[in-house]
Amino acid sequence: MLRFRAGAAACCVALACLLTFGGTATAQNETKSVTMDAIKKRGQLICGVDTGIPGYAFQDSKGTWQGLDIAYCRAVADALLGSPDKVKYIGTTSKVRFSVLQSGEIDVLIRDSEHTFIRNTQLGLDEPAVNFFTGQTFMVKKSLGVAHTKDLNGATICLLTGTTLETNIADYNRSNNIKINTLLFDKSEEAFAAADAGRCDGYTDDGGSVAAARSTMKQPNDWIFLPETIGGLQPLGSFTRQGDEAWTRLVKWVHYAMLEIEVLGINKGNLEQMKQSKDPETRRFLGLEGDFGKLLGVDNEWAYRIARDIGSYGDAYEATFGNKGGLGLPRGMNNLSSNGGLQTMPTWH
Amino acid sequence: MGQWLLLAALVAVAWYFGSEAAANMSRRHAGFGFGFLAENTNFDIPFRLISWDVGDTYARALLVCILNTLLVSAMSIVAATLLGLLVGVMRLSANWLVRNIALGFIELVRNTPQLVQIIFWYVAVLQTLPGPRQSIVLPGGILLNIRGFYLPSFVANDRANILWLAALLVLLAIPLVWRIRFREFPLSVKSLWLLPVAAAVFAAGVDRLDWPALHGFNIAGGVQVVPELVALWAGLSIYAAAFIAEIVRAAIQSVHRGQREAALSLGLKPRRVLSKIILPQALRVMIPPITSQYLNIIKSSSLGAAVAYPELFQIFAGTVLQQTARETETMVILMAVFLTINLSASALMNWYNHRVALVTR
């Protein structure tokens, strides 16, 4: 009797397995992602951003979030949920940003954060896309008469604590046998306010943040950027938790889509016209042919929506760091590789 | 029985949270351990009492930060006690103006947030000072600018070690000499003759004075007292002083007025009535609540992170936490260190309280 029951149970389990796995076996390409399922169920993307820094992410006078990182949050939500407004922004400080991502409080971290070895390995995070290339830049008062970073020997620099900036200065001091003193602040606003008051001789951060800081100084024109950067090239970009490849892949290809929009020359004005295009690459990209969206776990219109609602990477840059955004930071390294910059991507085949 | 069940339930809950935390940590590739303290750092600590170089171990960074925390706490405790005592006595003055100045001070300070006060001292007061090239020169060669106070410092000569130690010993001997009895009378005030002796011994160990002066970007020479320390010191001690003043007032008022009247009727002068009759009795009432103010000062020193003062919280919950990614360990270290400092301070104050407590039979 007992044996019969066990046998029956085994049969049932086998049958159940057959039913469930058999059903999905036909659509092997369908993506499985815990994070994407959770976002769809919630109907909202939770995006970890900076607490407030012009250029990357800040709230304007109406309380609307603006910035390059915000454009990326909007693009990801647009691709997955069909609307760029279905995003909840969580301002994260430099201290807690990775913890809140690891603990699952946010779905993705797009917060002017540098892609590093330790963050990829020890912290267990994936680094899908670099949306801003920069280097650690110094900004000093013109009246100081300093032209190069090496001349800063003996100077005191205000900066944000809990970042790679401190380590870079320590390394630079050691390799050049000079002494640049540091003063560490918890918030970037406090740091550049102290620099503005004259407590420090200068302020340092990545190039984008320094440009942002300069725009908030009492007399922006009194401040100059030193030409050299230290600590090498800083690739800033998005972070996701490891173990959800499909989600990481989507975040990565949303970035490439914004580059591709620029490469294909699509803008909000010519978008409908482009839909009539005979060019197969354009047709595949806009979802008129092929199954690119499905392969990523979203619908095929995803890239079309990004082009319509957010625009290209170049548009987003211009509206935030460029002249339209009021920071006037030349695009430099962030140009497409075809224009002498570093922004590049795999081919869309 | 019910209490045991409650205890068991509490243990179970604690065990559950502990194992959850352990599981979460191992999922994040981070085993629990303090081995990182022996590793080398790669950051600078802007202000310190002992030598520090980039590349020293995290354990040394911990020591540097503990000393920074202890320095500002000790300075604040001394200043808060003196200021609190003064304001507390002023509060009971017969003079209307003095009494109400004290009242106004207490109400203003007690009813605004401490963090706001610290940032006020830093941003609204110290950051409005002129730059290094326009330093305010104070008497005695002291320079004052936005980078802080610059005091002349003593440069030691080769006999300084022994001489300065001797001067310190002479200073420490004063309270003992104070009590020495000569023909039935204690030496008391006469022992203060040792002060100039100590000063002379100290001066013998000084080679020359180092005067602060403008050099390159900054003032060089002398001792720099950074504005971050001054702002935090002012913020901590003034806030605590307001509370201590109220404790002092309450304690003095708790001494029965018959004591004062009796002393006056014996012909004691009012100042001696305060110092010999009222304050010693009030002291017994004051010490326990003042102890808790001291403990508050030590804990609030972590607000220094807001004004870039490199104390324990700023360096360990900021830089170290980021560079090692050991959130739990750094927080455990922080709590353990503050617990140790505060329990020691509390034990010391309890011992003192026990000593001055009224012996009753």
Mean pLDDT lowest for which of A12-16, A112-116, A241-245, B255-259? A12-16
- Burial of residue B26 (CB within 10 Å: 0-12, 13-18, 19+) is exposed
Residues A326, B278: Cα–Cα separation, whole Å: 68
Indicate if the pLDDT at residue A28 is higher than 60.
no
> According to the model, what pLDDT value does residue B297 have?
95
Is the domain defined by B58-152+211-337+345-356 classed in CATH 1.10.3720.10? yes
Q: Which domains does chain A have, with CATH numbers?
A: 34-133+236-339 (3.40.190.10), 134-233 (3.40.190.10)
Beta-carbon contacts of B33 under 8 Å, excluding residues fewer than 6 positions away, are: B329
pLDDT tens sequence across A210-221 = 888 888 888 888
> According to the model, what pLDDT value does residue A5 have?
53
DSSP code, position B358: P
Q: What is the mean pLDDT of residues A187-211?
A: 88
Residue A210 tokens, joined: 């320094």
Which of A98, A99, A184 is nearest residue B46 as measured by Cβ atoms?
A184
Q: Contact at 8 Å (CB) between A38 and A81?
A: no
| DSSP E strand boundaries for chain B | 136-138, 142-145, 148-151, 153-156, 181-182, 185-186, 206-210, 213-215, 218-220, 223-225
Residue B41: closest CA among chain A residues belongs to which residue? Answer: A167
What distance in Å separates residue A180's CA from the closest CA in chain B? 10
pLDDT tens sequence across A98-111 = 999 999 999 999 99
Spell out the alpha helix ranges (H) of chain A: 2-25, 34-42, 68-81, 97-102, 117-121, 164-176, 188-197, 207-216, 245-263, 271-274, 280-285, 292-296, 302-309, 313-320
> According to the model, what pLDDT value does residue A17 have?
45
* A112 CB neighbour count, 10 Å cutoff: 26
| Contact pairs from chain A to chain B, CB under 8 Å | 95
User: Please, how many CA atoms are within 13 Å of residue B167, restricted to the half-sphere of its CB?
Assistant: 18
User: Please, how many CA atoms are within 13 Å of residue A26, restricted to the half-sphere of its CB?
Assistant: 5
C-alpha distances in Å from residue A288, one per residue of A130, A307, B35: 28, 14, 57
Q: Contact at 8 Å (CB) between A331 and A95?
A: no
Q: Which of A187, A196, A52, A212 is CA-nearest to residue A134?
A: A212
Indicate if the pLDDT at residue A3 is higher than 80.
no
Q: Contact at 8 Å (CB) between A58 and A320?
A: no
Indicate if the pLDDT at residue A270 is higher than 80.
yes
A166 CB neighbours in chain B (<8 A) are 42-44, 319
Which of A181, A191, A199 is nearest residue B227 as measured by Cβ atoms?
A199
Indicate if the pLDDT at residue A204 is higher than 50.
yes
Banded model confidence at residue A139, pLDDT cuts 50, 70, 90: very high
> According to the model, what pLDDT value does residue B361 have?
56
B39 CB neighbours in chain A (<8 A) are none
Q: Which of B323, B118, B122 is CA-nearest to residue A94?
A: B323
Q: Has the ipTM of the complex gone over 0.85?
A: no
**Which residue in A183, A187, A196, A203 has the most chain B C-beta atoms within 10 A of its own C-beta, making it the best mutation to test that interface?**
A183
Which of A98, A122, A186 is nearest residue B306 as measured by Cβ atoms?
A186
> According to the model, what pLDDT value does residue B34 have?
85
Q: What is the mean pLDDT of residues A312-317?
A: 95
> According to the model, what pLDDT value does residue A309 have?
94
Residues B69, B49: Cα–Cα separation, whole Å: 11
Q: Which of B307, B295, B240 is CA-nearest to residue B105?
A: B240
Instruction: Tell me if B327 and A199 make a contact (CB, 8 A cut-off).
Output: no
Residue B119: closest CA among chain A residues belongs to which residue? Answer: A190
Per the DSSP assignment, residues forming a β-bridge with A48 are A90, A109
Which residue is listed with tokens 């981070």? Answer: B30
**Which residue in B39, B54, B224 has the most chain A C-beta atoms within 10 A of its own C-beta, making it the best mutation to test that interface?**
B54
Q: Which of B210, B173, B103, B226 is CA-nearest to residue A182?
A: B226
Indicate if the pLDDT at residue A2 is higher than 50.
no
Residues B6, B239: Cα–Cα separation, whole Å: 41
> According to the model, what pLDDT value does residue B27 have?
67
> According to the model, what pLDDT value does residue B19 have?
84
A191 CB neighbours in chain B (<8 A) are 308
The H or E element that residue A236 is part of is strand A223-241
Q: Contact at 8 Å (CB) between B331 and B317?
A: yes
Residues of chain A whose beta carbon is less than 8 angstroms from a beta carbon of chain B are 94-95, 98-99, 102-103, 118, 121-124, 144, 154-156, 158, 161-163, 166-167, 169-171, 173-174, 181-186, 190-191, 193-194, 197-199, 201
> According to the model, what pLDDT value does residue B146 have?
87
Residue B276 tokens, joined: 């010999």
> According to the model, what pLDDT value does residue A247 have?
96
**Which among A51-55, A184-188, B118-122 has the top mean pLDDT?**
B118-122
Which of A99, A123, A185 is nearest residue B308 as measured by Cβ atoms?
A185
Question: Which residues of chain B fall short of a pLDDT of 50?
Answer: none
Residues B210, A93: Cα–Cα separation, whole Å: 43
> According to the model, what pLDDT value does residue B139 have?
83
A170 CB neighbours in chain B (<8 A) are 42-44, 54
> According to the model, what pLDDT value does residue A193 have?
87
Measured on CA atoms in the order B58, B60, B65, B66, is the torsion positive or negative? positive
Mean pLDDT lowest for which of A86-90, A289-293, A320-324? A320-324
Please state, for a pLDDT cut of 90, what percent of chain A lies above it: 54
Mean pLDDT lowest for which of A24-38, A76-90, A91-105, B184-198? A24-38
> According to the model, what pLDDT value does residue B49 have?
86
Could you give the 3-state DSSP secondary structure of residue B181? strand
> According to the model, what pLDDT value does residue B359 have?
66
B123 CB neighbours in chain A (<8 A) are 193, 197
Could you tell me if B51 lies within 8 Å of chain A, comparing CB atoms? Answer: no
> According to the model, what pLDDT value does residue B360 have?
62
By DSSP bridging, strand B206-210 and strand B153-156 are antiparallel
Could you tell me if B148 lies within 8 Å of chain A, comparing CB atoms? Answer: no
